[in-house]
Amino acid sequence: MAESIKATLTRREFYRNKASESASVTSIEGQEIPQQVDDLIDNKMYRNKFKSLIRKGHLQDLLDLAEVAKDKDTPSRWFAKSTRTTPVPGNEGKPTHWERSLKFLAKLRKVRRVVQQVSSRLKVPANSVNAVFKAAWKHQEAAVRLAVTAAETGKSHPFGLFCALALREPTNTPTA
């Protein structure tokens, strides 16, 4: 009888330990910071801020910002500034750097979709992709219409016609 009680207690301890281990692993894995983001964090005391942003569903935003930061002069400083979630003193009524970064990322994703659509309509040389990005930033959705026009009318060099149209066309902003 004493052996069966001992065996039962041992089994209970086994299941308690396994259950608590699996719960702690899941919670740690859900909050883990990806390496490319962690490399950009100079002050490791701010890891909890990034874990909080990940819990709120901004993991892809952080990864996209880390990708953009690679092209900057001081990537970690730019990343730290763009992920600042508190308002700058004196600018409490204005959007924080994080809110502005989210708007920037939304526009960047939209521009990437436009570039993909333009690339599917025109044969873009590999060394001229930046020209398509510039046109997409400038004209937004109108860049797709310019690509369609260039593909229909420019029989010999449609990409050259697209670049000429994109440079000549005024932006869609109304003048006052």
Alpha helices in 39-96 (DSSP H): 47-55, 59-69, 75-82
Output the pLDDT for position 88: 86
User: Domain of 159?
Assistant: 113-176
Cα 172 from chain centre: 26
The pLDDT assigned to 90 comes to: 87
Look at residue 157 and tell me if it is in a domain: yes
What pLDDT does 172 receive?
56
d(CA 120, CA 147): 9
Q: Residue 134 falls within a domain, yes or no?
A: yes
Quote the pLDDT of residue 17: 56
Q: With CA atoms as reference, report the closest residue to 162 among 129, 140, 135, 141.
A: 135
Q: Which residue ranges of the chain lie beneath pLDDT 70?
A: 1-31, 169-176
Residue 76 falls within a domain, yes or no? Answer: no
Is 149 part of any domain?
yes
Does a structural domain hold residue 168? yes
Residue at 121 is within a domain? yes
Residue 128 lies in a domain: yes
The per-residue pLDDT for 103 is 95
- Rounded Cα–Cα distance for residues 120 and 114 (Å): 10
* CA dihedral sign of residues 46, 52, 56, 62: positive
How does pLDDT run across 124-169, given as a tens digit for each residue? 888 888 888 888 898 888 888 888 888 888 778 888 888 888 887 6
For residues 61 and 105, what is the distance between their CA atoms, to the nearest angstrom?
7
Q: Is residue 146 part of a domain?
A: yes
Backbone angles phi, psi at 46, to 5 degrees: -90, 10
Q: How many domains does the chain have?
A: 1
